[in-house]
Every structure is written in C-alpha cells, then in structure tokens.
C-alpha cells in the first residue's frame, strides 16, 4: 500500500501527538521514589532547667534545601541517589529531629520552633553546611554551624561548628541514609550537650521576683 503526498500529511501531523502520548505514558509508569526518615536520639542529658529554646530551621544552599540525597566526589561534583528521597525538605526535617532530640535528651523547660509563638530565652540559628555521602572515601559527612542568640536583645552569645562522619557500606539508598542518620545523631547530641552546658539567660516570669506591697497608712484619728 502506498500513500500520496496529500494523503500522508494528516499522518505526519499525527505522529508528534502519538510520540508525546507514548512519552507521557512511560513517565507516568516510573515508580515513585522511596522516602527515608531521620531519627532523634533518646539519650538523657542533664540540661539547663528552666530555659526555653526556639530552634530555627537551618539555612542551606539550594542543593541541600530539598528532599534529594546528595553524593559528592573528591572533585566537588554533586549528584543525587536515584529512586530515593528524604521524607521532607531536609532543613525542615533536621529542625524537627533536633527539637525531638532536645525533648528526648534534655531537661530544658520548653523547646519549640519560632512558628509556635512561644516566648523563649534563646534561639538557635544554624546553617546546614554538609549533609552528603563523600566518595571515594564512602563516608557520610554532616556539618552544621550553630549560634545561640539571646531572644531578648538579639546578641550572639556563643557559636560552634559541629561535624561528624560515619562509614558507608555501599553507596545506595538504604546504606547511605543509615550512615547519614548515624552521623546526624552524633551532631544533634553534641548540640544538646553544648546548649545544655552553656550559661543561658532566663526570662523573669511573674512570681520569680516577689515584692511585698507597702503597708497602707492608717487614716489619722
């Protein structure tokens, strides 16, 4: 069977539509990535009783401010593990797990996020510097810079960089996420110990400073 040029034109116009439908069908059949969570350590640490802390979401570069699991080689080239992702945006997930670690490990009176509207003594301002699998050393690398800021006057009271590494058995999603979770747990416990051991200001509450009302003068008789 043969087609004349005039008869072939409708078929030629139809071909891109057919190819597009095939591509859409192939994409829609791709499996959804597996989501991995991070944990919060439960070790008990003596804390600074009576102090309230607000934990801010860590600042991060665009490559770290996502759900993708980062792999970086010795040259600094960045790639991502396919078929896997974090359960939430990474800085927000770390903020939640750090709050959980304070709640699990310390005696602090109250730990929350700024959006809670809670009145705090200090805030933790942090930056997520590294959270990746380093190759060819095959290590999970976590680095977070943290500052303690007075909520009363905004003064930076103390600052420190926390680092931890953990070996990776294989550069795949289950092993990579397990190693990053282990390294992050070390960092979060170090942060809690550091904050709990720092001299922190405490807001005065009604009843903290009690003064007796002056006695009323008696009217002259």
Confirm whether 175 is domain-assigned. yes
Confirm whether 145 is domain-assigned. yes
Confirm whether 55 is domain-assigned. yes
Predicted confidence pLDDT, tens digits, the chain (221 residues): 555 555 545 545 545 544 444 444 444 567 899 999 999 998 887 765 557 899 999 999 999 999 999 999 999 999 999 999 999 999 999 999 999 998 887 665 688 898 887 788 899 999 999 999 999 999 999 999 999 998 778 899 999 999 999 999 999 999 999 999 999 999 999 999 998 888 776 655 555 443 334 444 444 44
What pLDDT was estimated at residue 158?
93
Global pTM reads 0.77
Confirm whether 38 is domain-assigned. no
How many folded domains does the chain comprise? 1
Confirm whether 166 is domain-assigned. yes
Query: HEC profile for the chain?
Result: CCCCHHHHHHHHHHHHHHHHHHHHHHHHCCCCCEEECCCCCCCCCCCCCCCEEEECCCEECCCCCCCCCEEECCCCCEEECCCEEECCCHHHHHHHHHHHHHHHHCCCCEEECHHHCCCCCEEEEEEEEEEEEECCCCEEEEEEEEEEEECCCCCEEEEEEEEEEEECCCCCHHHHHHHHHHHHHHHHHHHHHHHHHCCCCCCCCCCCCCCCCCCCCCCCC
**Residue-number span of the structural domain to which 132 is assigned:** 48-197
CATH number at residue 97: 3.40.50.10610
What pLDDT was estimated at residue 169?
96
Confirm whether 6 is domain-assigned. no
């Amino acid at each position: 069977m043969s087609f004349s040029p005039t008869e072939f034109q409708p078929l030629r116009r139809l071909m891109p539509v057919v190819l597009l439908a095939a591509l859409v069908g192939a994409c829609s059949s791709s499996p959804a990535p597996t989501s991995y969570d991070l944990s919060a350590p439960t070790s008990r640490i003596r804390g600074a009783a009576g102090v309230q802390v607000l934990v801010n979401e860590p600042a991060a570069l665009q490559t770290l401010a996502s759900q993708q699991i980062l792999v970086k080689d010795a040259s600094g080239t960045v790639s991502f593990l396919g078929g896997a992702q974090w359960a939430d945006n990474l800085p927000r997930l770390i903020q939640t797990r750090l709050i959980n670690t304070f709640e699990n490990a310390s005696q602090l009176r109250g730990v929350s996020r700024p959006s809670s509207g809670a009145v705090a003594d200090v805030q933790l301002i942090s930056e997520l510097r590294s959270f990746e699998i380093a190759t060819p050393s095959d290590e999970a690398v976590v680095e977070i810079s943290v500052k303690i800021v007075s909520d009363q006057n905004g003064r930076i009271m103390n600052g420190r960089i926390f680092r931890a590494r953990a070996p990776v058995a294989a550069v795949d999603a289950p092993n990579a996420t397990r190693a990053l979770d282990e390294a992050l747990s070390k960092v979060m416990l170090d942060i809690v110990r550091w904050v709990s051991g720092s001299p922190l200001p405490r807001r005065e509450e009604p009843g903290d400073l009690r003064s007796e009302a002056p006695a009323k003068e008696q009217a002259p008789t």
